[in-house]
Amino acid sequence: MSTEVKCPRDGNTMILVLESEKLSDGTVKAYFSYRCPICGFRLEAERIEVTRGEGVLSVKRTVTPQPPG
Ligand SMILES: [Zn+2]
């Protein structure tokens, strides 16, 4: 992912950060989001959810469309 995303507030280049959390039932959620290092504005880019069933691993991927500009 090399697309440069600018902060809608101040126009600074936003950085891509990865956060993940693990739920008690084994589900793992990972979020890719853009964060402005100057003002802290956050923009969710992509969400990946991995659910563990009975011998089955289910992956759900949600991509948040970026606003134009
Ligand atoms: Zn900003």
**Cα(13) to centroid of ligand 1, in Å?**
8
pTM as predicted: 0.67
**Cα(19) to centroid of ligand 1, in Å?**
19
68 alpha carbon, distance to own chain's centre: 18
CA distances from 59 to 2, 37, 44, 51, 55 (A): 24, 30, 18, 6, 13
- 11 burial level (CB within 10 Å; 0-12, 13-18, 19+): exposed
Is residue 8 within 8 Å of residue 20, measured between CB atoms? Answer: no
**Cα(64) to centroid of ligand 1, in Å?**
19
* Position 52 pLDDT exceeds 90: no
Confidence of residue 8 (pLDDT cuts 50, 70, 90): very high
* Position 39 pLDDT exceeds 70: yes
